[in-house]
Amino acid sequence: MSEQHTALRSMHDLGLAAWFGGSLMGALGVNGAAARIDDSTQRLPVASAGWARWTPVNAAAIGAHLAGAVGELVTESPRVACQPGVGRMSTIKTALTVGALAVTGYSRLLGMRLQKAGGPPVEGTTEPNHQTPANVASCQRQMKLLQWAVPALTGALVVVSSYMGEQQKTGPMFRGLLGRAGTGLGPMSIGKVVGMAAAKRPMAMAGK
């Protein structure tokens, strides 16, 4: 594996790990801790301050993940085109990524609205009480769902990425190649897949 490919995988994995872990910790830790503050008018400002500090790091993590994902897609394009099942999983992964980006972006928009609301009395970061203004309560109810949607989608991305890593093993690659043997696959594409499989074989043997 080339150094460039190793860097791309590291960007992909570390960025996704921070995206998933940060969203889960925020929902459980930041929001949960803010709800325990005695002064109900300080719960929302404290949670908003915590999320605001995390936002630049989260944006960098997402950027690293996307850069790594695009780079991997380019370097693995022969396998995506030739090996059965890889293209389908790439499509699923892309759909999950787009969904996670959309939910993350909308969650941040709601978070900015809550931050601008100041310090209205609330039950928790995502739970209004009877004194909470209607517009704030509406944002909170949406955030209550979205705070779990982000880790769910990014967690699914982790699972899909792990499965796609299994598809890169020599056995599945050769089975896919043999399955395409009679479908008119060009010799140039076959050569690329064989070369990739041969490059991975020594690493697989070394790990035994």
pLDDT tens digits for range 86-116: 888 889 999 999 999 999 999 999 999 999 9
What are the pLDDT tens digits along the chain (208 aa)?
444 588 899 999 999 999 999 999 999 999 999 999 999 999 999 999 999 999 999 999 999 999 999 998 888 887 777 787 888 888 999 999 999 999 999 999 999 999 999 999 999 999 999 999 999 999 999 999 999 999 999 999 999 999 888 877 655 555 555 555 444 444 445 455 445 555 554 444 444 4
- C-alpha distances (whole Å) from 106 to each of 5, 101, 133 are 32, 9, 21
User: Which phi and psi (to 5°) does residue 38 adopt?
Assistant: -65, -40
pLDDT tens digits for range 73-89: 888 887 777 787 888 88
Structural domain boundaries in the chain: 3-167
